[in-house]
Structure 1
Amino acid sequence: LLTGLTRLSLATNRINSMHPSLFRLSSLTILNLTDNKIPIVPPDIALLEGLITLGLGDNEIAEVPDEIRYLQALRQLVLFGNKITHLPEGLRRLWQLEVLTVSQNDLHVFPPQVASDLTELKELWLGHNKITKVPTEIENLQKLEQLWLQDNQLEAIPSQVGNLTKLKVLTLTGNRIKEVPRSVKQLKIATNADQDKGEEYWQDKERDTFTEGDAEDDDASFRSWNSQDVDKPRARLPPVRALACWLEGGCSSS
């Protein structure tokens, strides 16, 4: 069923599991399950090896399986608003990843595999966690344009952040930082932009970062999973109560 489907959005529903039928959709390049009640990502996620964008934000996920390493075409991985305490070692195999958002989780440590291996990253969202330290290896991310670290438990920022010459946005609000290194001050960036905005502002900003790309572009991916901007193109399905019954044609979509 629907084996030729390339884009599937079931965001903002009541889905509480990723049914095995989903993993038979081998042509998928975009899968958006944001804003559901999914607690577990099965190892079979590895079968969707053509995925370019995977949206799992605003669910109840506590752990990402190491099998995510097999999604080596992945460019956007959206995990904000879950219960994640750490990221799997397999993440370091996602060499093409450009956008990673793990804000609003329960991370205590800056993911070491991110700083050491994900050198194609352009956007890294780690706000609203409990991270205490940014590793010096952050300077490996030479293509990074946005680094979101607001509302953590940081007491310092390494001077190596100043070597990220493509950085345009750096947010550090809501931490315990006493001094910003000179090298960081010299960057031409919007440091602590919108620092007076509240938590709701930051959450909305993150959700609105992901907008859908050009429908004619095979590499295009959703940007703005939950945007209210009516001028942006959408690709949504009617609400469904269960992923399984929709995939197998066994229930109404009303």
Structure 2
Amino acid sequence: MTTENEDQRPERSEQTLPRAILTNPEALTNPSAEDEANAMRPPSLNPDEDLLEDFPPDSEDVDLVHCRITSIPALGLQKLTAVLRLCLRQNEISRIEGLECIAGTLQDIDLYDNAIGHMTRDLEVLVNLENLDLSYNDLKHIKNLEKLVKLKNLYLASNRIGTIEGLGTLVELKNLEMGANKVREIQNLENLTKLEELWLGKNKISEIKNISMLSNLKILSLPSNRLTKLSGLDGLTNLEELYVSHNAIEDLSGLENTPNIKNLDVTHNRLTSIRGIEHLSHIVDFWASENQLSSFKEVEDVLKDKAELETVYFEANPLQLMGPATYRNKVRLAIPHIKQIDATFVTAN
């Protein structure tokens, strides 16, 4: 139906009609088609924009996440006199520089997800730094950290680092995160005796070694590597959590000197037996899905007396695949006090 006003509209000549130009023909037939070249983009950062205008000079916490920042010096950090924490996550920073003006107070800097390719000497002035996050950048080497002797937490995940190096002076370090890099060998950690957490998942490590001196280590994470056995764990008497899923480990020998393990993840390996953990009397969570475990009798013999055990994962083993209808009940009979089997809590009768 047309309205009176529509009937009175003058007709536009063909010459005056705007012509539509189809720049992405795929969009006519594919509702999921993307057109990056013509997509709406966020406006570029105005070089005269003062991102610090809302921060008082005595601000201790400066958070500038996803602000399209390309240069740290351009921020004008010299206006601030008491910065303890600086968060510049998810920006477009390619170089670490311009931090000397806040080096006297800065304790925590977060440069996660930028475009940084090198650890420059500008880091050396940050002598009071305790936390440094350079995850999700483009780093190939660890450099210029020697003077950061107060550093406690160092995050270097998802870079392209091939060698653990340059950390010898960081004797206060408690947490080292280097997952998703290109590390082939665990090395150069002998001075880090205060280290409590070591995260090295998704690398190319084929052997656990050179960590026996880390007697304070509580968490060791090595999933998605190339391990074939559990070795080199001597001296880790305080270890509480061991994550070695998605490797090629064939048996659980090698845990004799780690009696305090509470969480053990051996998911997706080549295990045919869980013998080797009989002495882990404090174990709480045992995750062993996607192996070749088939004996409920062995499950009972090894785990029934573990009073602190709450959770087990055995799915995608012959234990479960050969009799899925009776699997959960058999696990409950083998470990009567268990609270959770796979992802499901055990309900009281």
TM-score, normalised by the number of residues in structure 1: 0.69
The residue that corresponds to 1:149 in the other structure is 200
The residue that corresponds to 2:93 in the other structure is 38
Q: Does 1:96 align with 2:150?
A: yes
Q: 1:67 to 1:175 in 2, by over 3 A?
A: same
Q: Please tell me whether Structure 1 or Structure 2 has the larger radius of gyration of its CA atoms.
A: 2
Does the 8 A contact of 2:216 with 2:236 survive in 1? no
Deviation (angstroms), 1:152: 0.7
Does the 8 A contact of 2:242 with 2:265 survive in 1? no
One-letter amino acid matched to 2:207: A
Q: 2:166 aligns with which of 95, 113, 125?
A: 113
Q: 2:140 aligns with which of 74, 81, 85?
A: 85
State the aligned residue count. 191
One-letter amino acid matched to 1:175: N
The residue that corresponds to 2:58 in the other structure is 4
Q: Does 1:169 align with 2:219?
A: yes
Q: 1:63 to 1:24 in 2, by over 3 A?
A: farther
**CA offset digits 1:124-155 (Å, max 9, x no partner):** 000000011111x4132111110000011112
Does the 8 A contact of 1:62 with 1:83 survive in 2? yes
Deviation (angstroms), 1:74: 0.3
Does the 8 A contact of 2:158 with 2:179 survive in 1? yes
* Alpha-carbon separation, structure 2, partners of 1:184 and 1:11: 43
Q: Does 1:76 align with 2:128?
A: no
Deviation (angstroms), 1:15: 2.3
TM-score, normalised by the number of residues in structure 2: 0.51
Does the 8 A contact of 1:46 with 1:69 survive in 2? no
Bigger helix share: 1
Q: What is the identity percentage for the equivalent residue pairs of Structure 1 and Structure 2?
A: 28
Q: Using CA pairs below 8 Å that are at least 6 residues apart, which structure has the higher relative contact order?
A: 1
* Alpha-carbon separation, structure 1, partners of 2:232 and 2:99: 44
Structure 1 spans left out of the alignment, 5+ residues = 198-254
Does the 8 A contact of 2:208 with 2:233 survive in 1? no
Does the 8 A contact of 1:35 with 1:59 survive in 2? yes
Structure 2 spans left out of the alignment, 5+ residues = 1-52, 244-263, 269-349
4+ residue stretches of structure 1 with deviation over 6 A? none
Q: 1:15 to 1:178 in 2, by over 3 A?
A: same
